Amino acid sequence: MMEQVALPIVITGHVDHGKSTLIGRLLYDTGVLKEDRFQEIILTSSELGKTTEFAFVLDALEEERERGITIDTTQIYFQTEKRKYVIIDAPGHKEFLRNMITGASYAEAAVLIIDANEGMREQTKRHAYLLSMVGIRDICVVINKMDLVNFSKEVYDKTAADITAFLAPLSIVPKLFIPISALNGINITKRDPLISWYDGLPLTDALDSLEHKAFEKRPFRFPIQDVYKINGQRVIAGRVESGEATKGMPLFILPTGKKTTIKEIKKFLKEDVTVASYGESIGLIMFHNPKLQRGDILTGTNDAIVTHSFDANIFWFYGEYNLNDIIEIKCTTEESIGKMIIHEKFDPATMDKKTEGLDHLEIGEVARVTISTVKSLVIDPFSYIPEMGRFIIEKNGIPVGGGIVV
């Protein structure tokens, strides 16, 4: 059965290594872009004196979008037999970090594209760095333009070895390596005799082999938004941020660690509800009406972290930060004031590490920090449960940065 919710991916790599061509190919080879539409695009592009190639598909869609005709190119969908995919904005975009951190858009997996003829370049490295900063672990490395290197296994092996060596210190172990030619449609949806030495999967099948984390059995997490008293009973309102809840299920109340059990699940306009799943907004009634408040977290397992101090990667997007500034941390429905120590920071354009000025941050800077809070917070590493591992930093009530728990 096909999964209904699209798996969000990013396609990233150095300029000209073939991102647009790959996207055009994916749309064409998976049948999203119909043959007659494609012929139309080719015709228009040649009339405009442009080269007719797959990279132009994206430009054409972009132009049509601007004229309000077709899809939004920041959210491109394609689908295989197994599931839908949505390609979201890439790390090259300045908004990528901010979107990932604030949850505005979120990628579960990344395709890192490298031109076989050129090998790793500085954007390849920078994007790999950003992927590691935001905790994306499912990375497929595609080595493109294999036609330009005579489909050489030696070139492919060397490029794969180079990128593996570069990613290792970032704790990234790519899930898959695939030799492709985006332009010629080799190893995109099907294999090709020209690369007979490759016995792995083509890209779409390889993506299908990745787990869709939102559907994995993850532990239940329920940050409490509000508590209402209705007919003497407390109804606990919130959104299921991970896993699922069933009637009669035992839960932990964090940060205290006390235990409780679900008596009833309430959903808007529904009777006799027994299960609530990831993403649903619900009300819960517990046996014995325990005292609960906004900011408490109900969990199915007792493995969430309750702490006053945690390490994070942050992105500063407004104003300045100076050592000893009081910051406000907002994570799901929890809030606390706190302070932060900067261990390392990076220039966002180059990802060069800065060894000086670790007592302040400016707009656009990315940093590895330790945050200490006055109240204890209930959190999870972003790579385990993204919804519980991202937070916003405010100063005087104004959002100034965001981060992920590492």
**Total site size for ligand GDP, rule CB under 6 A:** 18
H helical segments located in 333-398: none
Instruction: Kindly state whether residue 336 participates in binding ligand GDP, applying the rule CB under 6 A.
Output: no
Instruction: Kindly state whether residue 17 participates in binding ligand GDP, applying the rule CB under 6 A.
Output: yes
Distance from C-alpha of 132 to C-alpha of 12, rounded to nearest angstrom: 13
CB of 186 to ligand GDP, least distance (A): 8
Q: Could you say which of 83, 126, 127, 145 contacts ligand GDP (CB under 6 A)?
A: 145
Q: What is the CA radius of gyration of the chain?
A: 24
Cβ contact 292:252 at 8 Å: no
Q: Could you say which of 7, 9, 20, 151 contacts ligand GDP (CB under 6 A)?
A: 20
Instruction: Kindly state whether residue 340 participates in binding ligand GDP, applying the rule CB under 6 A.
Output: no
Instruction: Kindly state whether residue 181 participates in binding ligand GDP, applying the rule CB under 6 A.
Output: yes
Instruction: Kindly state whether residue 179 participates in binding ligand GDP, applying the rule CB under 6 A.
Output: no
CB of 24 to ligand GDP, least distance (A): 7
Nearer to ligand GDP, 79 or 117 (CB): 117
Show contacts of 395-400: CB within 8 Å, 24+ apart. Answer: 395/319, 395/321, 395/325, 395/326, 395/327, 395/328, 397/328, 398/318, 398/319, 399/317, 399/318, 400/316, 400/317, 400/318, 400/319, 400/321, 400/327
Three-class DSSP labels, 33-77: CCHHHHHHHHHHHHHCCCCCCCHHHHHHHHHHHHCCCCCCCCCEE
Instruction: Kindly state whether residue 109 participates in binding ligand GDP, applying the rule CB under 6 A.
Output: no
- Helix, strand, coil fractions of the chain, as percent rounded to 5: 25, 40, 40
Distance from C-alpha of 403 to C-alpha of 57, rounded to nearest angstrom: 35
- Contact letters (x/-) for ligand GDP, 30-69, by CB under 6 A? -----------------------x-x--------------
Instruction: Kindly state whether residue 120 participates in binding ligand GDP, applying the rule CB under 6 A.
Output: no
Distance from C-alpha of 10 to C-alpha of 140, rounded to nearest angstrom: 10
**The two three-digit tokens of residue 14, written as one number:** 């150095």
Residues 286-315 contacting ligand GDP, CB under 6 A = none
Cβ contact 223:332 at 8 Å: yes
Q: Could you say which of 144, 159, 313, 332 contacts ligand GDP (CB under 6 A)?
A: 144
Instruction: Kindly state whether residue 147 participates in binding ligand GDP, applying the rule CB under 6 A.
Output: yes
CB of 354 to ligand GDP, least distance (A): 28
Stretch that binds ligand GDP, among 38-46, 162-170, 179-187, 260-268 (CB under 6 A): 179-187
| Residues of the shown chain interacting with ligand GDP in the complex, contacts defined by CB under 6 A | 13, 15-21, 53, 55, 144-145, 147-148, 181-184
